[in-house]
Amino acid sequence: MNAPPTGAIPPPSDPEVDEAALLAAARGALDAAYGPYSGVRVGAAVQDEDGRVFAGCNVENASYGLTVCAERNAVARAVGEGARRLVAVAIATSRPDRLPPCGACRQVLREFSEELLVVSEGSDGGTSRWRLSELLPQAFRADDLA
Protein backbone atom coordinates (compact mmCIF):
# COMPACT_ATOMS: atom_id res chain seq x y z
CA MET A 1 0.00 0.00 0.00
CA ASN A 2 1.24 3.50 -0.78
CA ALA A 3 2.47 5.66 2.06
CA PRO A 4 0.19 8.59 2.88
CA PRO A 5 0.96 11.78 0.99
CA THR A 6 3.30 14.26 2.60
CA GLY A 7 4.13 17.86 1.82
CA ALA A 8 2.71 21.22 2.66
CA ILE A 9 -0.43 21.06 0.54
CA PRO A 10 -3.32 18.64 0.32
CA PRO A 11 -3.99 16.62 -2.83
CA PRO A 12 -5.11 18.91 -5.64
CA SER A 13 -8.76 19.87 -5.79
CA ASP A 14 -8.23 20.75 -9.44
CA PRO A 15 -10.08 18.00 -11.34
CA GLU A 16 -8.29 19.00 -14.52
CA VAL A 17 -5.11 17.35 -13.28
CA ASP A 18 -5.19 13.57 -13.52
CA GLU A 19 -2.44 13.00 -11.03
CA ALA A 20 -2.39 9.22 -11.50
CA ALA A 21 -2.05 9.56 -15.28
CA LEU A 22 0.69 12.15 -14.95
CA LEU A 23 2.63 9.94 -12.55
CA ALA A 24 2.20 7.02 -14.93
CA ALA A 25 3.72 9.12 -17.73
CA ALA A 26 6.62 10.07 -15.47
CA ARG A 27 7.15 6.41 -14.62
CA GLY A 28 7.13 5.60 -18.34
CA ALA A 29 9.85 8.18 -18.96
CA LEU A 30 11.82 6.77 -16.05
CA ASP A 31 12.24 3.56 -18.03
CA ALA A 32 14.35 5.47 -20.55
CA ALA A 33 16.37 7.48 -18.01
CA TYR A 34 20.11 7.65 -18.58
CA GLY A 35 21.96 8.03 -15.29
CA PRO A 36 25.03 5.78 -15.39
CA TYR A 37 27.27 8.18 -13.43
CA SER A 38 25.12 9.07 -10.45
CA GLY A 39 23.08 5.90 -10.55
CA VAL A 40 19.98 8.08 -10.16
CA ARG A 41 17.24 7.69 -12.74
CA VAL A 42 14.45 10.21 -13.05
CA GLY A 43 11.37 10.56 -15.22
CA ALA A 44 9.14 13.62 -15.37
CA ALA A 45 5.89 14.54 -17.08
CA VAL A 46 4.34 17.99 -17.41
CA GLN A 47 0.72 18.74 -18.18
CA ASP A 48 -0.25 21.87 -20.05
CA GLU A 49 -3.46 23.88 -19.73
CA ASP A 50 -5.06 21.88 -22.55
CA GLY A 51 -4.43 18.60 -20.77
CA ARG A 52 -1.58 17.55 -23.00
CA VAL A 53 1.18 15.55 -21.33
CA PHE A 54 4.87 15.66 -22.23
CA ALA A 55 7.50 13.47 -20.64
CA GLY A 56 11.29 13.46 -20.35
CA CYS A 57 14.05 11.70 -18.46
CA ASN A 58 17.41 12.71 -17.03
CA VAL A 59 20.27 12.46 -19.49
CA GLU A 60 23.74 12.33 -17.96
CA ASN A 61 27.05 12.83 -19.71
CA ALA A 62 30.66 11.75 -19.17
CA SER A 63 31.30 15.50 -18.91
CA TYR A 64 29.18 15.61 -15.78
CA GLY A 65 28.16 19.25 -15.94
CA LEU A 66 26.30 18.67 -19.19
CA THR A 67 23.70 16.51 -17.45
CA VAL A 68 20.13 17.63 -18.03
CA CYS A 69 17.40 16.83 -15.52
CA ALA A 70 14.21 15.01 -16.38
CA GLU A 71 12.02 18.02 -15.64
CA ARG A 72 13.86 20.30 -18.02
CA ASN A 73 13.78 17.70 -20.76
CA ALA A 74 10.01 17.36 -20.26
CA VAL A 75 9.61 21.14 -20.43
CA ALA A 76 11.71 21.28 -23.61
CA ARG A 77 9.52 18.69 -25.22
CA ALA A 78 6.35 20.55 -24.19
CA VAL A 79 7.57 23.92 -25.42
CA GLY A 80 8.78 22.34 -28.66
CA GLU A 81 5.22 21.17 -29.26
CA GLY A 82 3.80 24.63 -28.66
CA ALA A 83 2.85 24.39 -24.98
CA ARG A 84 3.24 27.64 -23.06
CA ARG A 85 1.22 27.21 -19.87
CA LEU A 86 1.94 24.29 -17.58
CA VAL A 87 -0.33 23.29 -14.70
CA ALA A 88 1.41 20.29 -13.15
CA VAL A 89 4.58 18.24 -13.15
CA ALA A 90 5.00 14.69 -11.94
CA ILE A 91 8.40 13.24 -11.04
CA ALA A 92 9.29 9.59 -10.64
CA THR A 93 12.66 8.27 -9.52
CA SER A 94 14.52 5.02 -9.06
CA ARG A 95 15.33 6.11 -5.52
CA PRO A 96 13.03 5.12 -2.67
CA ASP A 97 12.66 8.71 -1.47
CA ARG A 98 10.73 11.38 -3.37
CA LEU A 99 12.84 13.92 -5.24
CA PRO A 100 11.88 17.58 -5.25
CA PRO A 101 12.89 19.39 -8.45
CA CYS A 102 16.35 20.98 -8.31
CA GLY A 103 16.74 24.75 -8.26
CA ALA A 104 17.47 25.05 -11.97
CA CYS A 105 14.36 23.05 -12.83
CA ARG A 106 12.23 25.16 -10.49
CA GLN A 107 13.27 28.27 -12.35
CA VAL A 108 12.63 26.71 -15.76
CA LEU A 109 9.21 25.42 -14.67
CA ARG A 110 8.33 28.87 -13.30
CA GLU A 111 8.84 30.38 -16.74
CA PHE A 112 5.77 28.50 -18.00
CA SER A 113 3.48 28.52 -14.98
CA GLU A 114 2.00 31.08 -12.66
CA GLU A 115 1.35 28.26 -10.24
CA LEU A 116 2.18 24.61 -10.61
CA LEU A 117 1.32 21.43 -8.78
CA VAL A 118 4.45 19.35 -8.19
CA VAL A 119 3.91 15.70 -7.32
CA SER A 120 6.81 13.37 -6.76
CA GLU A 121 6.88 9.63 -6.33
CA GLY A 122 9.66 7.44 -4.95
CA SER A 123 10.24 3.84 -5.87
CA ASP A 124 8.51 2.94 -2.60
CA GLY A 125 5.31 4.30 -4.13
CA GLY A 126 5.00 7.13 -1.64
CA THR A 127 4.19 10.60 -2.94
CA SER A 128 4.93 14.17 -1.90
CA ARG A 129 3.18 17.27 -3.18
CA TRP A 130 4.18 20.89 -3.30
CA ARG A 131 3.22 24.10 -5.04
CA LEU A 132 5.99 25.67 -7.11
CA SER A 133 5.40 28.95 -5.28
CA GLU A 134 6.52 27.35 -2.02
CA LEU A 135 9.52 25.68 -3.66
CA LEU A 136 10.59 28.89 -5.43
CA PRO A 137 9.30 31.98 -3.61
CA GLN A 138 10.41 35.39 -4.89
CA ALA A 139 11.16 33.91 -8.30
CA PHE A 140 12.97 35.89 -10.96
CA ARG A 141 10.36 36.47 -13.68
CA ALA A 142 9.89 38.14 -17.03
CA ASP A 143 8.40 41.13 -15.16
CA ASP A 144 11.79 41.71 -13.59
CA LEU A 145 13.14 42.53 -17.04
CA ALA A 146 10.43 45.10 -17.81
Question: Which residue numbers are catalytic?
Answer: 71
**Min dist. Cβ of residue 15 to ligand THU (A):** 27
From the CB of 81, what's the least distance to ligand THU, in Å? 20
Instruction: Give me the helix-helix angle, 19-30 and 70-80, nearest 10°.
Output: 110
Q: 15 or 27, CB closer to ligand THU? A: 27
Least spacing, CB of residue 68 vs ligand THU, in Å: 8
Note the residues at the interface with ligand THU (CB under 6 A).
Answer: 35, 38, 40, 42, 58, 60, 67, 69-71, 99, 101-102, 105
**Region class of 138: left (phi > 0), else alpha (psi between -120 and 50), else beta:** left
Q: Of 50 and 97, which CB lies nearer to ligand THU in the complex structure?
A: 97
Task: Indicate the residue among 17 and 26 with the shorter CB distance to ligand THU.
Answer: 26
